[in-house]
Amino acid sequence: MTPPNKPIALTRFLIEAQRAGHITADLRLLIEVVARACKAISHAVNRGALGGVLGDAGTGNIQGEAQKKLDVLSNEILIEANEWGGHLAGFASEEEDDFVEVPNAYPKGRYLLLFDPLDGSSNIDVNISVGTIFSVLQCADGIDKLEARHFLQPGSKQVAAGYTTYGPSTMLVLTVGHGTHAFTLDRELGSFLLTQRDMKIPEDTKEFAINMSNQRHWFPPMQKYVAELLEGKTGPRGKDFNMRWVASMVADVHRILTRGGIFIYPRDRREPDKPGKLRLMYEANPMSFIVEQAGGAATDGMRRIMDIQPDKLHQRVAVFLGSKNEVEVATRYHREAGGP
Ligand code: AHG
Ligand code: MN
Ligand code: MN
């Protein structure tokens, strides 16, 4: 028996989850491999200028965003680590134009791995926390040829989701549908140790996270909601709110998992055809699964994010997530207005 207070390693946590029937052996292996890849990314992020990994890659992704060297490197690390293990049918990544099939040289498995290899890339060169976000779906049986439509499943079908934050400590936060659990990387041992079982997001909060510089572009329900937060104690909400915005979704969500809050990236007038900035499959769905498993909520202002049927891989979505009661208030304002 492990003595009390001695944290258990991710490996043991996953074996116990398998014994409890929460995950298959293949999914356990997949999560182990993703965690190993994240350790390699953590190492590269940590080396920073010493590793020559800072700065622009000089390329762009399909979404028209300039890629940083670490965006490209993290993407390569995740694909190389996972392609040969036999547990995957394919990948989809924020940094790839299309989905990626497992090369024919390797056996194919039954899972699909989707990821944002490096989240918060505007923070890389300024030594502020960044992260990796991932989502695992099951691939339909008996497929001859993998197609994009096999990935287009609502978030409610995810069998696992997680993120790593490369901050003062490197942490892995994981759900396989039985609570949300946090692991801290012990650099001396080289393993992730369970440091918080069953994270719980407080239902109420006095803290919000939004990029206020976009305020003039927001639609009326967002204007009304945030204006009321800013009115504080003497306004309709009857309490003072604090604001935080790291501009790394992983870091903002990690704070919310730790002490509550609401994270918002709304749709706005800058590009009215785009429903927000964040990506449904690589960012919003995995974070929604993690947040809901910790007792929080996640909507696009109107609907539960995990109920959205995606129609393309790089689809964007408005995101309201965090403390349940606060997400309900913000969502109600949008529903009452008939949409953003
Ligand atoms: P990425 O670096 O993967 O493109 O994601 C950045 C995202 C998210 O992490 C963050 O919450 C948001 O973009 C910040 O956007 P602004 O720079 O518009 O505030
Ligand atoms: Mn991102
Ligand atoms: Mn990214």
State the DSSP string of 115-142.
EEEEE-GGGGGGT--EEEEEEEEEPPSS
pLDDT of residue 4 exceeding 70, the answer is no
Which residues have beta carbons under 5 A from ligand 2 (an ion)? 116, 119
Protein residue closest via CA to atom 7 of ligand 1: 120
- Same-fold call for 10-196 versus 207-337: no
pLDDT at 334: 97
Ligand 1 midpoint to CA 64 (Å):
14
CATH assignment, 207-337: 3.40.190.80
Look at residue 142 in the predicted model and tell me its pLDDT.
Answer: 83
Cα(286)–Cα(177) distance, integer angstroms: 11
131 pLDDT more than 80: yes
Residue % of the chain over a pLDDT of 70:
99
For residue 320, list its beta bridge partners: 264, 299
Instruction: Match 């695992």 to its residue by tokens.
Output: 136
**Ligand with smallest separation from the Cα of 118:** 3
Give dist(CA 150, CA 181) in Å, integer.
28
d(CA 83, CA 39): 17
Pair 103, 125: CB distance under 8 Å: no
Q: Say how far apart CA 211 and CA 307 lie, in whole Å.
A: 26
Question: pLDDT at residue 56 above 90?
Answer: yes
Ligand nearest to the Cα of 65, by number: 1
Split at pLDDT 50, 70, 90, the class of 339 is: confident
Q: Rounded distance, CA 42 to CA 38, Å?
A: 6
Residue nearest to atom 11 of ligand 1 (CA): 249
Tokens standing for residue 130: 């960044």
Report residues near ion ligand 3: CB below 5 Å: 94, 116, 118-119
CB within 8 Å of 130: residues ≥ 6 apart:
45, 70, 118, 119, 120, 121, 123, 124, 165, 166, 248, 250, 251
d(CA 288, CA 310): 15
Region for residue 92 given its phi and psi (left: phi exceeds 0; alpha: psi -120 to 50; beta: otherwise) = beta
Determine the atom of ligand 1 nearest the C-alpha atom of 263.
Answer: 11
The pLDDT value recorded for residue 201 is: 98
**Location of structure tokens 């953590």:** 42
49 pLDDT above the threshold of 70: yes
Task: Dump pLDDT digits (tens) for 172-217.
Answer: 999 999 999 999 999 999 999 999 999 999 999 999 999 999 999 9
Q: Which residues contact 190 (CB under 8 A, 6 or more apart)?
A: 39
Check pLDDT > 90 for residue 84.
yes
Q: Of 56-65, 195-204, 231-240, give the lowest mean pLDDT range.
A: 56-65
- For the stretch 268-313, pLDDT in tens is 999 877 889 999 999 999 999 999 999 999 999 999 999 999 999 9
User: Using CA atoms, how far apart are residues 133 and 172, in angstroms rounded to an integer?
Assistant: 10
Which of 277, 287, 319, 321 has most ligand 1 atoms within 8 Å of its beta carbon, as the pocket-test mutant? 277
Give the model's confidence band at 62: pLDDT under 50 very low, under 70 low, under 90 confident, else very high. Answer: confident
Q: What is the DSSP letter of 8?
A: P
Residue spans of the domains in the chain: they are 10-196, 207-337
The string over 48-85, giving b where at least 16 C-beta atoms fall within 10 Å of a residue's C-beta and e elsewhere, is eeeeebbeeeeeebeeeeebbbbbbbbbebbbebbbeb
- Name the residue with the closest Cα to ligand 1, atom 17: 247
* 145-171: pLDDT as tens digits: 999 999 999 999 999 999 999 999 999
Element (H, E) at 113: strand 111-119
Classify each residue of 253-283 as buried b or exposed e, where b means 16 or more C-beta atoms within 10 Å of its C-beta: bbbbbeebbbbbbbbbeeeeeebbbbbbbbb
pLDDT score for 3? 58
pTM (two decimals): 0.97
Fold of 10-196: Fructose-1,6-Bisphosphatase; Chain A, domain 1 (3.30.540)
